[in-house]
C-alpha cells in the first residue's frame, strides 16, 4: 500500500513533460548525480541500533537495526546485521551513469515515492520503434528502481512508452524478461558489465514485444469481443443482453465504461491502422490505468480521485502502474488481447 506523498518526495525530468506531469524540468542531458540533486534524492539511509523501552530503561535488541532516512529520521524498516543500504548517491547514480556511458541511454526522469521508500531513475534508449505502417511510435525505456524499506532489491524494469500519449506499455513477454534484479556492487568494472547485460536483455525484450504489438495492430475488434475482454479484465459479469449487471461495483463499472470510450477517443486511437484494432483496445486500458484510474485512500473515497493530477494521487497511480494492481490489470489485458488476436 502506497503511503501519502509528502514534501519529502520530489521528481525531475528532461525534455518534454512526462506522463505524470510532475517535477523540475531540464532542456539538456544531465548526469545521474545531477538528476538526484534535482529530485532532492541526495539524502542517505543509515543503520541505527534498535532499542526498546522497558519501563524507564532502554535496551538494545541484538542484531537488529532501524533503517532510517537520515535527513528526516523516519524509520523505513527493521534490518539485520548484514543489511547494507544501497545509497541513492553514489551507488544508484554510479550504476545509472554506467548505462548512460554506453552511448545508448539518456536520463529522462527521476524521483522518489512513498516518502523515499522507493527511488527511481528512468532512461530512454536509442531507436524508437515504429509500429507496422502506422505513424504510431514506441519509445524504449529502462526504469531503475531501488527500495529502502526492505521490500525489494535493486530492480531494472523495461518500460515501453507510447509516444503519442505517454501510456506505459510494460508487460511480461514469453521468452523475454521485462525486469531483472541487479547485484549490488561497488566495482566499476562489474557495473559496466551489468550495464551491457541489461541493454542486451532490453533488446531481446523489445524484439519479442513488437511481435505481439504487430499481431494486435492487424486484428480488428468486434464490439462483443471488446465488451467480453474488458469485462474479464475488470472482473465484471455481463448480462445476456451484453450490458452490465446492475449490482456491479461502481469502481469496476467506471473502469469498464471509461475504457470502452477510450477505445474510440483515446489518444492516438484514431490513427490510420490503429483505429478499431486490438492494439487500440490495449491502449485504451493503459490510458485508463496511467492517467485516470482512481486510487485508494483519497479524500472522499477512491471515486473522488478519478482523473486527478494532484501529487498524492499521481504518486499512488505511478506506484500501482509500475509495481501494483494496475500492472496486473495491464498484463491481463495484454494476455487476453494476444489470445484473441492469435485466433
As given in the structure block, the three cell numbers for residue 75 are 524509520
Report d(CA 167, CA 157) in Å as an integer: 15
Residue 334's pLDDT is: 94
Rounded Cα–Cα distance for residues 68 and 148 (Å): 9
Does the structure show a pLDDT above 50 at 232?
yes
Residue 73 class from Cβ within 10 Å (0-12 exposed, 13-18 middle, 19+ buried)? exposed
Confidence band, pLDDT 50/70/90 cuts, at residue 318: confident
Task: Give rounded-to-5 percent helix, strand, coil for the chain.
Answer: 40, 25, 40
Q: Look at 241 and 66; give whichever has higher pLDDT.
A: 66
So what's the pLDDT on residue 283?
94
| Mean pLDDT confidence for 168-188 | 59
**Over 50: is that where the pLDDT of 1 sits?**
no
Q: Which has more pLDDT, 140 or 237?
A: 140
Report the candidate in 52, 28, 50 with the shortest Cα–Cα distance to residue 38. Answer: 28
By CB atoms closer than 10 A (0-12, 13-18, 19+), residue 288 is buried
Average pLDDT over every residue of 26-50: 95
**Sorting pLDDT into bands at 50, 70 and 90, what band is 205?**
confident
pTM of the model as a whole = 0.74
Between 50 and 253, name the one with better pLDDT. 50
pLDDT band, very low/low/confident/very high, at 297 (cuts 50, 70, 90): low
Percentage of the chain beyond pLDDT 70 is 83
Q: Give mean pLDDT, residues 149-156.
A: 84
Q: For residues 253 and 235, what is the distance between their CA atoms, to the nearest angstrom?
A: 10
299, pLDDT greater than 60: no
pLDDT at 184 over 60: no
| DSSP E strands, 55-159 | 57-69, 74-80, 105-113, 118-125, 129-130, 137-139, 141-147, 155-158
Please give the pLDDT value at position 171: 67
**48 pLDDT higher than 60:** yes
323 vs 282, residue with greater confidence:
282
The strands making up 129-130's β-sheet, listed across from edge to edge, are 129-130, 137-139, 161-162
**How sure is the predictor about 2, in pLDDT bands with cuts at 50, 70 and 90?**
very low
In this model, does residue 3 exceed pLDDT 50? no
Looking up cell 541484538 gives 62
Record the cell numbers describing residue 81, joined without a space. 546485521
- pLDDT tens for each residue of 245-284: 555 567 788 899 999 999 999 999 999 999 999 999 999 9
Amino acid at each position: 500500500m502506497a503511503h501519502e506523498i509528502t514534501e519529502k518526495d520530489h521528481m525531475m525530468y528532461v525534455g518534454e513533460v512526462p506522463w505524470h506531469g510532475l517535477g523540475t524540468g531540464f532542456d539538456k542531458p544531465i548526469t545521474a548525480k545531477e538528476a538526484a540533486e534535482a529530485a532532492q534524492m541526495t539524502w542517505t539511509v543509515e543503520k541505527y541500533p534498535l532499542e526498546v523501552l522497558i519501563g524507564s530503561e532502554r535496551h538494545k535488541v541484538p542484531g537488529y537495526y532501524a533503517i532510517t532516512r537520515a535527513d528526516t529520521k523516519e524509520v523505513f524498516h527493521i534490518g539485520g546485521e548484514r543489511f547494507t543500504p544501497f545509497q541513492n548517491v553514489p551507488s544508484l547514480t554510479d550504476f545509472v551513469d554506467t548505462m548512460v556511458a554506453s552511448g545508448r541511454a539518456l536520463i529522462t526522469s527521476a524521483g522518489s515515492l512513498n516518502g523515499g521508500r522507493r527511488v527511481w531513475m528512468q532512461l530512454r534508449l536509442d531507436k524508437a520503434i515504429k509500429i507496422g505502417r502506422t505513424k504510431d511510435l514506441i519509445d524504449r525505456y529502462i526504469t531503475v528502481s531501488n527500495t529502502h524499506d526492505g521490500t525489494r532489491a535493486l530492480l531494472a524494469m523495461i518500460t515501453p512508452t507510447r509516444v503519442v500519449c505517454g501510456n506505459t506499455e510494460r508487460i511480461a513477454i514469453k521468452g523475454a524478461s521485462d525486469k531483472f534484479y541487479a547485484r549490488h556492487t561497488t566495482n566499476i568494472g562489474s557495473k559496466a558489465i551489468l550495464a551491457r547485460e541489461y541493454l542486451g536483455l532490453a533488446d531481446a525484450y523489445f524484439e519479442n514485444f513488437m511481435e505481439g504489438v504487430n499481431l494486435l495492430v492487424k486484428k480488428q475488434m468486434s464490439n462483443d469481443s471488446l465488451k467480453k475482454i474488458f469485462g474479464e479484465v475488470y472482473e465484471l459479469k455481463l448480462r445476456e443482453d451484453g450490458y452490465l449487471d446492475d449490482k456491479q461495483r461502481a469502481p469496476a463499472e467506471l473502469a469498464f465504461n471509461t475504457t470502452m470510450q477510450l477505445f474510440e477517443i483515446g489518444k492516438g486511437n484514431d490513427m490510420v491502422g490503429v483505429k478499431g484494432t486490438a492494439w487500440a483496445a490495449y491502449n485504451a486500458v493503459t490510458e485508463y490505468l496511467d492517467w485516470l484510474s482512481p486510487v485508494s485512500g483519497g479524500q472522499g473515497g477512491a471515486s473522488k480521485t478519478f482523473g486527478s493530477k494532484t501529487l498524492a494521487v499521481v504518486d499512488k497511480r505511478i506506484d500501482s502502474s509500475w509495481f501494483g494492481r494496475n500492472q496486473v490489470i495491464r498484463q491481463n489485458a495484454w494476455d487476453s488481447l494476444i489470445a484473441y488476436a492469435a485466433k
